[in-house]
Structure 1
Amino acid sequence: MRSELSGFLAGLSWPRPQGPQFDPETAPTDPVALFERWLRDAVAADVPAPHVMTLATVDVAGRPDARVTLLEDVDEQAFWVAASETSPKGKQLGRVPVAALVFHWPQLGRQVRVRGSVRAADEARTADAFERLSAHARAEALVDRQSLPLHDEQWLSDALGDPADLIALEQPGASSAPAWRLWGVDAGRMEFFQAAADGHHVRLRYSRSQDGYATELLRP
């Protein structure tokens, strides 16, 4: 079985990049501006769910975790993700406030990596993001049992019920799912990777300093 899987994996390859290539000489001084440009390129290229990313965290014992999640927001300082404070993801973000993100757009041969410290959003920003969620996502946040063992599927179905019923219990204009929160991953260190069909890949790293951002090219 293992040898068959090894042979199967050996037959796989990276997709050939399609679409715009990247000249680091034309990169903006702000990495978030470059991220926005690349995200828009991914949307224009019909990359499925280009706002999906891998979020890596560590627990208090230093053991890593990673999962695929959604980018909720981005600004000049941070990339924002959502997690309940009671979930494993939220506990790790709160107790060991460092994280890494990876965006991968294989059709374009592009990756973006972000690594930095983590901070919780204030109540106003969290409430605003909560109200933008779909009805089903808000209902799940109100039940707040993410990652707990599911022993009784009927209980969960009954608890969720009609999302409109749960949402009707919220206080107007504010989130009544107090454990649900936005977390910001600092954008002080970012790396942009552009694959090339000829193997001459480009890696550009941004590091924030007191004078703005310093950039350097890295070996692929």
Structure 2
Amino acid sequence: MAEHPILPPSELAAWLRAQPTLTGTAPPLRLDDLPVDPVPLFHEWIRGAAAAGVAEPHAATLATVDADGMPDARTLILKDVDDRGWAFAGARSSRKAAQLDAHPAAALNFWWQPQRRAVRVRGTVHEASAAESDADLAARSASARTGLGPGDWVLWRVVPTRVEFWQGSSDRNHTRIVYRRVDGRWQLVAPASDSASSAR
């Protein structure tokens, strides 16, 4: 087998490595009174991010796969979170709609850099009722509704099987709080530190 020469790091690679990480300030994290399911904790974290001045805390990256199994991702706005799931919306003619139709599963990632916090949500995706989708369309501004009629706008929900809350630490002793759905019930995995993990 031919050996590949070891190339020096590129200028960009060196520049990237020199950039600071985990420059925010993590808020106090209480691990002794966590809720039994992830929804109340998510409400607490996203409202806390907004109160701390984090810009657009409701923006998230949605990851899907296409018909060939290739991953795809885009940034969108969270619509709601309750016991039914994490809601987002889009046009039925969009690429994400086609991907969700072929593979109704997705992951959401929230990154609140000033607080060194991230939340990861993954699970199956279900289309909301037509009435809910129409109501979400009606709540958009007039300019955002241009070219969309009832039935052209879809509200989906990620019904999670796993939700992870991550808080970074400057000493790399990061904390993970993981909820898993087992037999229809939430199971809280004991919060753990992850000193081997790098900053996200």
| Pairing 1:189–2:162 present | yes
How far apart, CA to CA, are the structure 2 residues paired with 1:32 and 1:128? 23
Q: Which has the higher contact order (CA 8 A, sep 6+)?
A: 1
1:1-220 superposed matches below 5 A: 3-139=10-146, 141-142=147-148, 176-210=149-183, 212-216=185-189, 217-218=191-192, 220=194
Distance 1:97 1:27, change over 3 A: same
How far apart, CA to CA, are the structure 2 residues paired with 1:104 and 1:83? 21
How far apart, CA to CA, are the structure 2 residues paired with 1:126 and 1:68? 19
The one-letter code matched in structure 2 to 1:61 is D
Contact 1:21–1:194 at 8 Å: present in 2 too?
no
Q: 3-state DSSP class of the match of 2:54?
A: coil
Query: TM-score, normalization: structure 2?
Result: 0.87
How far apart, CA to CA, are the structure 2 residues paired with 1:187 and 1:24? 22
**Deviation of 1:211 (Å):** 6.5
**Deviation of 1:124 (Å):** 1.1
Q: 3-state DSSP class of the match of 2:20?
A: coil
Give the number of aligned pairs.
Answer: 185
How far apart, CA to CA, are the structure 2 residues paired with 1:77 and 1:101? 15
**Deviation of 1:207 (Å):** 0.7
Where is the strand percentage greater, Structure 1 or Structure 2?
2
Q: 3-state DSSP class of the match of 2:73?
A: strand
Distance 1:27 1:17, change over 3 A: farther
State the Cα RMSD in Å. Answer: 1.6
Distance 1:129 1:32, change over 3 A: same
Query: TM-score, normalization: structure 1?
Result: 0.79
How far apart, CA to CA, are the structure 2 residues paired with 1:206 and 1:63? 27
**Deviation of 1:83 (Å):** 1.6
Shifted more, 76-85 versus 20-29: the winner is 20-29
The one-letter code matched in structure 2 to 1:52 is A
**Deviation of 1:193 (Å):** 0.2
Distance 1:24 1:106, change over 3 A: same
**Deviation of 1:127 (Å):** 1.1
The one-letter code matched in structure 2 to 1:54 is T
Where is the helix percentage greater, Structure 1 or Structure 2?
1
How far apart, CA to CA, are the structure 2 residues paired with 1:89 and 1:3? 35
Identity of aligned residues (%): 39
**Deviation of 1:218 (Å):** 4.5
How far apart, CA to CA, are the structure 1 residues paired with 2:135 and 2:184? 32
Contact 2:121–2:160 at 8 Å: present in 1 too?
yes
